C-alpha cells in the first residue's frame, strides 16, 4: 500500500471516530433530555395531584406553575386556565423578605389562560372575578436607583398591595401594577396598564388606564365620562 493510500485511510478512520464520538454524545444528550422531561412531568403530576387534593373545588388547567403555594389561598370554585403562573416570593437574593407574601383568591374566580401573578406583598382578589388571557399582575418592582451595575442588585420595592374587588372583569393582555385597587364590578379594557386606582362600577381603558364610563345605578346604564361632565346624564348618549 502506498503512503497516500495509508494517509487517506487514516484520515477516514479519524473522521469516522469523530462522527461516532459526536453521535454518542448527541444520543446521550437526547436520552438525558427525555429522562429529565419525564421526571419533570411525573413530578408536576404529583404536585398537581397534591394541590387538587388540598383544594378539591379548584379547576386546574395544564402546565400551571406555583411558587410557594403555601402563601396562596384559593376560594371555592376557582378556575385557573392553562399555563397560569402564581408565583409568591418570600426571599430575594438569599435574604428573607420582611414579611411573607399573601395571595388571596376569592370564590368563583375564573381566568381563561396564561395568567401570571407575582406576589411579594399582598394581593387580594375578591369573589366572582373574571380574568381573560395573558394578564400580568405584579405587586413589586426592582428598586429603580441606577447606581448598581444591574437593577437586579437593588432591593425589591414592594408596593402597599393590590386589591381587585368583587365582580371585576379584566380584559386580555392587561397589566396591573403594584399599589392599585380596582373597585367592585369595574371592567378593565383589553391591553390596558393599570397604574392607579380605578373606582367601582367603572370601565377603564388605555395605558395608563383611565375611566371612560361609569355605571349609573338609577338609569341602569353606562354613562360616558365626557357626557357626565358636559350634560350630567344625557339620555341620547347612554349605552343601553
Ligand X SMILES: CC(C)(COP(=O)(O)OP(=O)(O)OC[C@H]1O[C@@H](n2cnc3c(N)ncnc32)[C@H](O)[C@@H]1OP(=O)(O)O)[C@@H](O)C(=O)NCCC(=O)NCCS
Q: How far apart are CA 230 and CA 182, in angstroms?
A: 26
- Binding to ligand X (CB under 6 A): which residues in 127-186? 132, 171-172
83 versus 189: smaller Cβ distance to ligand X: 189
3 versus 220: smaller Cβ distance to ligand X: 220
**Segment contacting ligand X (CB under 6 A): 27-35, 75-83, 87-95, 200-208?**
200-208
Q: How far apart are CA 184 and CA 133, in angstroms?
A: 20
Under the binding rule (CB under 6 A), the answer on residue 205 touching ligand X is yes
Examine the residue annotation and report whether 142 is marked as an active-site residue of this protein.
Answer: yes
Q: How far is CA 117 from the centre of its chain?
A: 4
Position among 60, 80, 203, 223 found at the interface with ligand X (CB under 6 A)? 203
- Binding to ligand X (CB under 6 A): which residues in 101-130? 112
User: Which 8-state DSSP code applies to residue 207?
Assistant: T
In this structure, the number of other CB atoms found within 10 A of the CB of residue 4 comes to 8
**Segment contacting ligand X (CB under 6 A): 34-42, 55-63, 78-86, 190-198?**
190-198
What sections of 55-209 are H helices per DSSP? none
**Segment contacting ligand X (CB under 6 A): 29-37, 52-60, 64-72, 188-196?**
188-196
Comparing every residue's Cβ against ligand X, the nearest one is 189
CB-based contact 45:67 (threshold 8 Å): no
Position among 68, 124, 206, 237 found at the interface with ligand X (CB under 6 A)? 206
In a 10 Å sphere around its CB, with 0-12 CB exposed, 13-18 middle and 19+ buried, how is residue 132 labelled?
A: buried
Q: How far is the CB of 233 from ligand X (least distance, A)?
A: 16
In this structure, the number of other CB atoms found within 10 A of the CB of residue 78 comes to 21
- Binding to ligand X (CB under 6 A): which residues in 24-83? none
Nearest to 129 by CA among 177, 62, 80, 85: 80
Position among 212, 221, 225, 238 found at the interface with ligand X (CB under 6 A)? 212
Q: How far apart are CA 1 and CA 49, in angstroms?
A: 69
Total residues at interface with ligand X (CB under 6 A): 15
Nearest to 182 by CA among 195, 190, 172, 223: 195
Question: Which grid cell sits at 78?
Answer: 376557582
156 versus 205: smaller Cβ distance to ligand X: 205
Under the binding rule (CB under 6 A), the answer on residue 214 touching ligand X is no
List contacts with ligand X (CB under 6 A).
112, 132, 171-172, 187, 189-192, 203, 205-206, 212-213, 222
- Catalytic residues, by residue number, are 142
Amino acid at each position: 500500500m502506498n503512503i497516500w493510500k495509508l494517509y487517506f485511510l487514516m484520515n477516514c478512520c479519524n473522521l469516522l471516530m469523530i462522527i461516532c464520538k459526536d453521535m454518542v454524545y448527541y444520543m446521550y444528550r437526547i436520552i438525558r433530555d427525555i429522562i429529565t422531561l419525564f421526571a419533570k412531568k411525573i413530578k408536576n403530576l404529583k404536585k398537581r395531584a397534591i394541590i387538587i387534593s388540598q383544594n378539591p373545588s379548584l379547576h386546574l388547567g395544564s402546565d400551571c406553575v406555583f411558587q410557594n403555594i403555601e402563601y396562596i389561598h384559593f376560594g371555592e370554585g376557582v378556575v385557573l386556565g392553562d399555563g397560569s403562573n402564581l408565583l409568591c416570593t418570600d426571599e430575594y437574593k438569599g435574604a428573607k423578605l420582611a414579611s411573607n407574601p399573601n395571595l388571596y383568591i376569592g370564590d368563583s374566580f375564573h381566568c381563561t389562560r396564561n395568567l401570571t401573578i407575582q406576589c411579594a406583598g399582598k394581593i387580594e382578589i375578591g369573589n366572582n372575578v373574571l380574568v381573560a388571557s395573558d394578564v400580568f399582575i405584579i405587586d413589586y418592582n426592582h428598586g429603580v436607583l441606577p447606581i448598581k451595575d444591574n437593577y437586579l442588585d437593588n432591593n425589591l420595592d414592594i408596593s402597599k398591595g393590590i386589591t381587585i374587588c368583587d365582580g371585576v372583569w379584566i380584559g386580555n393582555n392587561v397589566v396591573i401594577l403594584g399599589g392599585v385597587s380596582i373597585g367592585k364590578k369595574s371592567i378593565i379594557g383589553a391591553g390596558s396598564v393599570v397604574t392607579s386606582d380605578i373606582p367601582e362600577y367603572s370601565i377603564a381603558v388605555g395605558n395608563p388606564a383611565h375611566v371612560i364610563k361609569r355605571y349609573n345605578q338609577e338609569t341602569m346604564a353606562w354613562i360616558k365620562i365626557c357626557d357626565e361632565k358636559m350634560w350630567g346624564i344625557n339620555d341620547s348618549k347612554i349605552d343601553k
